[in-house]
Amino acid sequence: MADLTGRVAFITGAARGQGRAHAVRLARDGADILGIDICQDIESLDIPNASLEDLAETKRLVEAEGRRMIARQADVRDFAAVSEAVDEAVAEFGRLDIVIANAGVVRLGTEDDGLAEWNDIIGVNLTGVFHTCRASIAPMIAGGRGGSIVITSSTAGIRGAHSAVAGGLAYTAAKRGVVGLMQVLANDLAQHWIRVNTIHPTGVATKMLFNDAMRKLFKSGHMSVARMQNALPIEVLQPEDIAGAVAWLVSDEARFITGVQMPLDAGFTIR
């Protein structure tokens, strides 16, 4: 376990799933947390987002680790809202060291009109990541202590094995798009000792994977389990598996690692 005592971490999509696991793990390792989440559904998508109660539960879990958390309802598509949350946390906690651009959505159902979900998925998964980075970089540079930005991509950001419906294409385009964003930012911010990396998880046991829309899709045969198989004989990872790897990546133990696409995928991308 790396020591993050005194650090401050900003996590998007913090109300549940991987975002909550990051918040709890980084708090356990010593960090105070700013967590934002949309906490409402997006009309074009068929997987419900988290609720305000979910976000409150993340805050409770962080506080149970003995750390502080500012939890705010904010949509990563809304730059002003993201920026306001970051400013509030910097004013309250006095610094910003770690950013986990984790918020994301997907829609793989075939009964779509194609365009609305393309825009919403690109809006959250690509533009939202840009907003998250843009709001965070100035206070990180001003802090003069370096930092670490981790962007949650997917195996879709490495391998073209996902669904070809509009939502699947948008997901893949966004998850590849953030790799470009990461590489340019990693180059540009290296002079400030701010590291930027992407992580590429395989299937993780969260509401994004386990929900009524996905169950229907698997049942209809539009999505095959074989296509989703990892090399290691493990069906899905747990959010805590991803959080453990990220806790290391943001720590000083990984202080020389930047510009890297890190598969956290049980060998999915080498199959």
Task: Please spell the DSSP secondary structure of 182-211, one letter per residue.
Answer: HHHHHHHHGGGTEEEEEEEE--BSSTTTSS
Beta carbon of residue 239, minimum distance to ligand NAD (angstroms, whole number): 6
Beta carbon of residue 197, minimum distance to ligand NAD (angstroms, whole number): 15
Pairwise CA distance, residues 182 & 250, whole Å: 15
Q: Which is nearer to ligand NAD, 103 or 250 (CB)?
A: 103
Beta carbon of residue 67, minimum distance to ligand NAD (angstroms, whole number): 20
Q: Which is nearer to ligand NAD, 4 or 21 (CB)?
A: 21
Q: Which is nearer to ligand NAD, 103 or 137 (CB)?
A: 103
The residues that touch ligand NAD, with contacts defined as CB under 6 A, are 12-13, 15-19, 36-38, 49-50, 75-77, 102-105, 124, 128, 152, 154, 201, 203-204, 206-209
Q: Which is nearer to ligand NAD, 76 or 89 (CB)?
A: 76
Question: Is position 171 annotated as part of the catalytic site?
Answer: yes
Catalytic residue among 10, 118, 171, 268: 171
Number of other CB atoms surrounding residue 61 within 10 Å: 17
Please name which of 64, 65, 51, 67 lies closest in space to residue 16, comparing C-alpha atoms.
51
Beta carbon of residue 34, minimum distance to ligand NAD (angstroms, whole number): 13
Residues taking part in catalysis: 171
